[in-house]
Copies of this chain bind each other. A is one copy, B any other.
Amino acid sequence: MITVHLKKLKRRTEISSEEERAIRGAVAEVRQVRADELVIRSGEYLSSSIILLDGWLARSKDLPGGERQVTELHIAGDFPDLHGFTLKRLDDDITALSDCRLAVVPHERILEVTQKFTRLGRVYWFSTNVDAAIQRELSLSLGQRSAISRMAHLFCELYVRLDVVGRASNNGYAFPLTQRELSECLGLTVVHANRTLQELRRRGLLELENRHLTIRDMRGLEGLAEFDPSYLYLEKHQL
C-alpha cells in the first residue's frame, strides 16, 4: 500500500532497505476519506501528515468571493501536506477529489526518522522542493499560456506523474475530476474549460469520457503544451 510512495521516491533516489523500513514504520494508521471531503482545512494546527495511497486530492486556495484556485493535484504516492511538518499549518485546503486511502504519519515520527537517517531528511526536503517546482510551472501556465495550452500541459504533466507510480496505461489514465474542478486547476470558468476541452477533442489530441482520459496524439499534445518534463526532476539524485 505504502509501496506506491516508495516507488515514487525510488524513481528519484536510492532508498536503502533500512531507510525503507524506517519509512514503513512511520505510518501510524490508514484512513479512508470520501470524495468531496475536506481533508485538511488551511490554518488548523497539524501534528501529522498524510501519504496518499490511492485516489486524488487537490490543494486549493479560495478568495473571499468564493473563487477557487487549485494549487496542486495529488495522486497516489504523493505526500501532499509534508510541508506541514515544518509549517505546522497549511495555507491551502486539501480536498478529496475521489474516495481516497491515506497513510497518517505523525510528525514526531518524521522527526525521529529524519534525525536517525539524515539522508531521508534530505529526500523529503527534496520531495517538497519538487512540489514547489510543479507549482512554479503552474504559475508559468496561469500567467503566460493560453487556455488550451494550459489544459494540454496539465494532462501531459499528469500522464508523466501517474506513469512514475504505474497508474498510467497505454496513453491514458483514470481522471476523476469534474469539469468544474478542472476549471479551478486552470484558472478558467467552467464554460470556457468545457469549450477548451472540446477543442482538444476536435483536434484529435485526446478523449475524455467516463472519467477516463485517453491521449490520442501524445506528440501533438506535448507540442501544444510546450511540455518539457525537466521540472519534474525525474532523474536519479544523490542526496
Contacts and interface: CB of A to CB of B under 8 A. Distances in A.
B128 A87 contact: no
A129 B86 CA distance: 8
Contacts of A125: 86, 121, 125, 128
A163 interface: no
A92 B138 CA distance: 13
Contacts of A129: 83, 86-87, 128
B187 A144 contact: yes
A133 interface: yes
A226 interface: yes
Interface string A135-178: 11111101111000000000000000000000000000000000
A91 B136 contact: yes
A144 B67 contact: yes
A144 B69 contact: yes
A86 B239 contact: yes
B143 A69 contact: yes
A133 B91 contact: yes
- When all copies of this chain in the complex are counted, the total is 2
A139 B138 CA distance: 7
Interface stretch (A25-33, A94-102, A201-209, A229-237): A229-237
Contacts of A133: 83, 87, 91
A133 to B, nearest CB: 5
Nearest to A116: B118
Nearest to A238: B88
A87 B233 contact: yes
Interface in A89-125: 91-92, 114-115, 118, 121-122, 125
Given A68-B144, A69-B139, A88 B237 contact: yes
A55 B107 CA distance: 37
Nearest to A67: B144
Contact of A132 (B128, B187, B239): B128
Given A69-B144, A135-B136, 6 more contacts: A63-B226, A83-B133, A86-B125, A86-B237, A87-B126, A139-B139
Closest 7 CB pairs of A and B: A143-B187, A142-B142, A86-B126, A132-B132, A69-B143, A91-B231, A67-B144
24 contacts: A63-B226, A69-B139, A69-B140, A69-B144, A71-B136, A71-B140, A83-B129, A86-B122, A87-B129, A87-B130, A87-B133, A91-B133, A91-B230, A121-B121, A121-B122, A121-B125, A125-B125, A128-B129, A138-B139, A139-B139, A139-B142, A142-B142, A143-B187, A144-B187
